[in-house]
């Protein structure tokens, strides 16, 4: 599935029919079905408000990576 940018907030969006409870689910790129690994590029944040498409998520960048690295290494 391909994401698209939604300006000016810098969010990404995907067509999705997930509703309440989907928040926080990861968006992966480079997912390998054999290993179950990929790179998290966003997370489900909010929908269109009607329980349907699209789903929006923040674009995770170098700041998010720095937070992750700090958490991993103390």
Q: How many helices and strands, by DSSP H and E, does the chain display?
A: 1, 6
Q: What is the pTM of this model?
A: 0.71
Closest C-alpha to 1, from 37, 46, 45, 31: 31
Q: What is the pLDDT of residues 8-24, one digit of tens each?
A: 467 888 887 777 777 88
pLDDT of residue 31: 94
- Lowest mean pLDDT across 5-14, 20-29, 40-49, 56-65: 5-14
């Amino acid at each position: 599935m391909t994401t698209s940018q939604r300006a000016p907030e810098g969010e990404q969006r995907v067509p999705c029919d997930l509703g309440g409870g989907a928040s926080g689910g990861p968006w992966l790129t480079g997912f390998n079905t054999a290993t179950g690994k990929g790179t998290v590029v966003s997370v489900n944040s909010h929908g269109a408000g009607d329980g349907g498409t699209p789903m929006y998520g923040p674009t995770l960048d170098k700041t998010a990576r720095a937070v992750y690295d700090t958490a991993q290494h103390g």
